[in-house]
Amino acid sequence: MLDFMPKIPVAEAIENATDWITDAFSFIFQPIKDDFGDFMDWTADMLAAIPPIIVILIVIVLAFFISGKRFGLPVFSLVGLWFIYNQGLWEELMSTFALVLIASILAVIIGVPVGILMSKSKIAESIITPILDFMQTMPAFVYLIPAVAFFGIGMVPGIFASIIFAMPPTVRFTNLGIRQVSTELVEASEAFGSTGSQKLFKVELPMAKGTIMAGINQTVMLSLSMVVIASMIGSPGLGRDVLSALQRANAGTGFVAGLGIVILAIIIDRFTQNINTKKAD
Amino acid sequence: MPVIKVDGLSKVFGKNTKEALKLLDQGKSKEEILKETGCTVGVNRASFEVEAGEVFVIMGLSGSGKSTLVRLLNRLIEPTEGSVIVDKEDLATVDKETLRRVRREKMSMVFQKFALFPHRTILENTEFGLEIQGVDKETRSKKSKESLELVGLGNYIHQYPEQLSGGMQQRVGLARALANDPDVLLMDEAFSALDPLIRKDMQDELLDLQESMQKTIIFITHDLDEALRIGDRIALMKDGSIVQIGSPEEILVNPANDYVEKFVEDVDRSKVLTAENIMKRPETINIEKHGPRVALERMKDEGLSSIYVTDRKRNLKGYVLADDVSEARKNNISDLSEILKTDVPTVTKDTPMHDIFEIIHDSHVPIAVVEDGKLLGILVRGAVIGALAGEGEVNLENA
């Protein structure tokens, strides 16, 4: 009874669309793949070129000040980073960090303005919200397929997939943060004759900062969670070790690489959270 | 010339505003309109004028539309109909640029919950209005400091709002509004969030400031005592409409309808009524014309034990007691000045009833109400208590 219609060729349509986009926009994708890829490699190389001891020292000093001159985070950073170095995963760590860093920065650069747009326009909100839902619930692997089609394999498609997967929290929290600014404060800024952008930059964004930072924290964490998945399309880093351990059923090396990701995640999380609470005081 | 002239200003919330306005014209009530169109009438055809230097109070219970009305004045809420004329410009229709200029230069607002920016220091909060006008840092800092000095917060400029008490925070709110040097101050329940003692201080301070600044103030409140205390004129609102506009006395003494009457029933009249409102036409005798015989007769007629004595021009000379007068008659003294008593308890016509109590309590003769030495009227204990109880007997003709 349900068979009144032949199968709708959605998959074919998407496939064709992807092919078409790949062809039609190759003049954009190609330079992104080449130049951005070079930039990514350069960033990762630069990070890897810094002697590990200096990186560790910088992290410890930053951790000390960011966590309000307490010793927990610096000690954890020291032990954690030394452990990764000790396991011979330093270069992978730097690759992973480069990927997370750049994916997060791009996600924030795109996400915050989109969130602002959403907060200012009901229509934009009603259009963007379902798109965000889609982006977050679609299995992350699925993004890898067009990403490879557009950008080939390597770090660039990994970044592309990470941005799509990790951006929604920044957008949502920016929207939420601005909408939560108390009516009286918004009225006050308007009553004194603010222009739209004065209201945004002098009142709404500073007031929403805490919420936006919470969103950014989520974005960073999500993009970190993409590194393992992105390694399936050739992104270098700790994820690749996890993946190869999986393929060889090697529990030991898999665990060590996974632990490296956890350590990086904890350090990044505490850093972004502490920046947030410190500024909110 | 009025500073603000509001004419037929209305706000209908909802989609079908045209229909709702039509129903309003037909005299339908707020509930009926809500039922028929789904629209809420916020403000219904408010019209009033506010003169320069006047404290105009808009009062009503919550939901009466007073906060909406004040927001229509600076167009934080878009009016559905009507006009707000400030300086020949109708704010209800001007373009955004002009509206912004008016908000920056002519009207400032003080908010119920202070609406201070928590991420800015007190000084930065006060500077806000000037900052968005693009005033240079030095000037705005100087003006803001002056303005903070004015409200007595000169020492707190580098604190953050959360470090200050409620009363101090609202002083900052006031300083921030004053820093722009606006013609009009809109104060939306500005003191309602403060506890009663602080509120009274703030009212006094506002009145003090007003004496030197002479701003035009539109003050929203739900507290009638507050309205009566600070208002030169009061507009009473109910269900979005203004039901009466008048001076505090007029509203108290001649409520326009049952609603206003109910409202003013609970008021502590002693704070509002002055000697002028409760004084009586005095029985007097003329010292230049009359002797003890006339005095005694007049007292007997009126059942008085004492009578005030004036000269021909009604300048108050003193009073005489009935006992003294009959004594004088027996002794054939014909000049009243020999028995005249001059320890007269006097007040002016503006003395509030509150202060009259103490005087009348200690006095065995009625109190004289005097102006420039002339006797205007007398205050009898019974009438004072009567007026306090709200029993008629209060006249405004003298006002």
Residues B63 and B186 occupy one common structural domain: yes
Quick one: which H or E segment has residue B139?
Answer: helix B137-150
Position A280 scores a pLDDT of 44
- What pLDDT shows up at residue B389? 62
Q: Provide the pLDDT for residue B258.
A: 77
Boundary-marking domain end, from B267, B301, B336: B267
Inter-residue contact A217 to A276 (CB < 8 Å):
yes
Domain count, chain B: 2
**B346 and B262 within one domain:** no
* Sequence letter at residue B90: D
The closest CB to that of A194, out of B74, B111, B132, belongs to B132
Question: How far is it, in rounded angstroms, from Cα B264 to Cα B247?
Answer: 13
For residue range B298-343, list pLDDT tens digits in order: 888 877 888 888 888 888 888 888 888 888 888 888 788 888 888 8
Tokens of B171: 């002083």
Q: What is the reported pLDDT for B397?
A: 41
Which residues, in sequence order, are CB contacts of B96 under 8 Å at separation 6+? Answer: none
Tell me the C-alpha distance between B379 and B346, whole Å: 10
At residue A239 the predicted structure's pLDDT band, cuts being 50, 70 and 90, is: confident
Instruction: Give the chain B residue nearest A206 (alpha carbons).
Output: B119
* Higher per-residue confidence, A131 vs A33: A131
pLDDT of amino acid A171: 95
Angle of helix A90-120 relative to helix A155-180, nearest 10 degrees, comes to 40
The answer to the question of residue B60 being in a domain is: yes
**B151 lies in some domain:** no
Across the range B167-194, mean pLDDT stands at: 91
**For residue A66, how many other CB atoms are within 10 A of its CB?**
19
- State CA A100 to chain mean position distance: 6
- The domain of B363 spans 275-388
In-domain check, residue B217 = yes
CB-nearest to A188 from B104, B115, B119 is B115
What is the DSSP track for B289-350?
Answer: T--HHHHHHHHHHHT-SEEEEE-TT-BEEEEEEHHHHHHHHHTT---GGGT-B----EE-TT
CA distance B199 to chain A (A): 20
Q: Is B117 on the interface with A (CB under 8 A)?
A: yes
Confirm or reject contact between B68 and chain A (CB < 8 A).
no
Residue B114 pLDDT more than 70?
Answer: yes
| B94 and B219 part of one domain | yes
Note the pLDDT of residue B358: 75
Cβ contact B181:B104 at 8 Å: no
Q: Which of B211, B244, B267 is the last residue of a domain?
A: B267
Amino acid B177 reads: A
Please name the helix (run of DSSP H) or strand (run of DSSP E) that holds residue B381, with its range, or none. helix B381-388
B46 DSSP β-pair partners: B9
- Please give the pLDDT value at position A202: 93
Q: What is the CA radius of gyration of chain A?
A: 21
What's the CA angle centered on B310, arms B305 and B313, to 5 degrees?
155
Q: Has residue B46 got a pLDDT over 80? A: yes
The predicted pLDDT at position A152 comes to: 82
Task: Note whether B117 contacts A195, CB cutoff 8 Å.
Answer: no
pLDDT grade, residue B35 (50/70/90)?
confident
pLDDT at B374 exceeding the cut of 90? no
The predicted model gives A90-101 an average pLDDT of: 88
Q: What is the pLDDT of residues A9-59, one digit of tens each?
A: 888 888 888 888 888 888 888 888 888 888 888 888 888 888 888 889 998
Examine the domain organization and report whether B365 and B280 are in the same domain: yes
- Percent of chain B scoring above 70 in pLDDT: 95
Q: Does B134 touch chain A (CB under 8 A)?
A: no
Q: Which residues of A touch B (CB under 8 A)?
A: 182, 184-185, 187-195, 198, 202-203, 206-207, 209
Chain B residue with the nearest C-alpha to that of A207: B119
Q: Return the pLDDT at A208.
A: 93
- Domain match, B238 and B288 both: no
Predicted ipTM > 0.85: no
The answer on B249 and B298 residing in a single domain is: no
| B260 and B218 inside one domain | yes
* CATH number of the domain enclosing B329: 3.10.580.10
The yes-or-no verdict on residue B223 having pLDDT over 70 is yes
* Percent of chain A with pLDDT strictly greater than 70: 98
B130 shares contact with chain A (CB less than 8 Å): no
Q: What is the mean pLDDT of chain B?
A: 86
| 8 Å CB contact between A213 and A279 | yes
Residues B321 and B355 in one domain: yes
CA angle B351, B353, B354 (to 5 degrees): 105
Tell me the per-residue pLDDT of B50-75, one tens digit each, with 9 for 90 and over: 999 999 999 888 888 899 999 999 99
Does a structural domain hold residue B21?
A: yes
Boundary-marking domain end, from B233, B267, B301: B267
Phi, psi of A274 (to 5 degrees): -70, -35
- Residue B169 is assigned to a structural domain of this protein: no
Q: Residue B268: what pLDDT?
A: 66
Of B104, B112, B118, the CB nearest to A192: B104
User: Is the dihedral angle over the CA atoms B326, B330, B334, B335 positive or is it negative?
Assistant: negative
Q: Say if residue B281 is in the same domain as residue B259.
A: no
Domains contained in chain A, CATH given: 12-49+87-280 (1.10.3720.10)
Report if residue B129 sits inside a domain: no
Choose the weakest-confidence range: A10-19, A104-113, B79-88, B386-395: B386-395
For the residues of chain A, what is the DSSP string, one character each?
Answer: --TTSPPP-HHHHHHHHHHHHHHHTHHHHHHIIIIIHHHHHHHHHHHHHS-HHHHHHHHHHHHHHHTTS-SHHHHHHHHHHHHHHHTT-HHHHHHHHHHHHHHHHHHHHHHHHHHHHHHH-HHHHHHHHHHHHHHHHS-HHHHHHHHHHHH-SSHHHHHHHHHHHHHHHHHHHHHHHHHHS-HHHHHHHHHTT--HHHHIIIIIHHHHHHHHHHHHHHHHHHHHHHHHHHGGGT--SHHHHHHHHHHTT-HHHHHHHHHHHHHHHHHHHHHHHHHHHHHH-
Rounded distance between C-alpha atoms, residue B71 and residue A279, angstroms: 33
Sign of torsion over alpha carbons B9, B13, B18, B19: negative
Would you say residue B399 has pLDDT above 90?
Answer: no
Question: Could you tell me if residue B152 is inside a domain?
Answer: no
**Strand pairing category for B284-286 and B306-310:** parallel
Strand partners of residue B4: B50, B86
- Per-residue pLDDT at B394 exceeds 60: no
**Residue B176 with chain A: CB contacts under 8 Å:** 192
The answer to whether position B170 is within a domain reads no
Substitution target in B67, B75, B76, B220 with the highest count of A β-carbons within 10 Å is: B76
Residue B270 vs residue A179, higher pLDDT:
A179
| Start-to-end Cα distance in chain A | 63
pLDDT (average), residues A209-219: 92
Do residues B202 and B114 lie in contact, with contact meaning Cβ atoms separated by under 8 Å? no
Indicate if B29 and B93 belong to the same structural domain.
Answer: yes
Helix (H, G, I), strand (E, B) or coil at B375: strand
The CA radius of gyration of chain B, in Å to the nearest whole number, is 27
Strands B216-221 and B346-347: unpaired
Whether residue B388 has pLDDT greater than 80: no
Same domain, B239 and B321: no
Task: Please report which confidence band the pLDDT of residue A131 belongs to, taking 50, 70 and 90 as the band edges.
Answer: very high
CATH number for the domain spanning B190: value is 3.40.50.300
pLDDT (mean) for B204-231: 89
The shortest CB-CB distance from A188 to any of B111, B131, B133 is to B111
pLDDT at B391 over 80: no
pLDDT tens sequence across B5-34: 999 999 999 888 888 888 888 888 888 888
Q: What is the pLDDT, as a whole number, of residue A236?
A: 82
pLDDT at position B142 over 70: yes
Partner residues linked to B81 by β-bridges: B10
Does B318 share its domain with B348?
Answer: yes
Q: Is B366 left (phi over 0), alpha (psi -120 to 50) or beta?
A: beta
Q: Is residue A278 pLDDT above 60, yes or no?
A: no
